[in-house]
Amino acid sequence: MFDFNAQHDCRLAKCTASGSRRQVQERVESEVTEEFIIHEPVHQYIVNTHAFHNAHLLREVVPRELIAPVLLFENRELKHHELAAELRSSQADRREHLKAGREAKKAAAAEQADSSSGAATQGKQKKRKTNSS
């Protein structure tokens, strides 16, 4: 009827990044190693039915319990409010941290300006003494 792409279900199979191999650069094995995922055998696959352009055809063939959406949270609105409260709290902390950083940067710049203007004033006074002698 139509083609589709099925993905191996790593979560169900408990696949891990337990493989290790040397990287090849310009057809020569280097000393740098990289990890890769070793897939465990499992006979269940994931089909992203929401990516189909012809989903209406799929719904005609596949039973509803196989393609029904699964709730991520029992009470979606409550979870939304929890996450929003966490975000507001973390954002307030982040704003305070950034404000303290800006103030410290301003203070350092002002201190730098004061010390450099003091050095410039001292240099001018030395020139005046040299010229007047």
Range of the domain at 95: 72-116
- 110's CB contacts (< 8 A; 6+ apart) are none
How many structural domains is the chain composed of? 2
Residue type, 78: L
Pick the more confident residue, 1 or 50.
50
Residue 133 domain flag: no
34-59 pLDDT, tens per residue?
999 988 888 888 877 777 787 788 88
Judgement on whether residues 52 and 89 belong to the same structural domain of the protein: no
Instruction: Supply φ then ψ for residue 87, to 5 degrees.
Output: -65, -45
Write down the pLDDT at residue 96. 93
Q: Residue 100 is encoded by which pair of tokens? A: 């303290």
63 shares a domain with 85: no
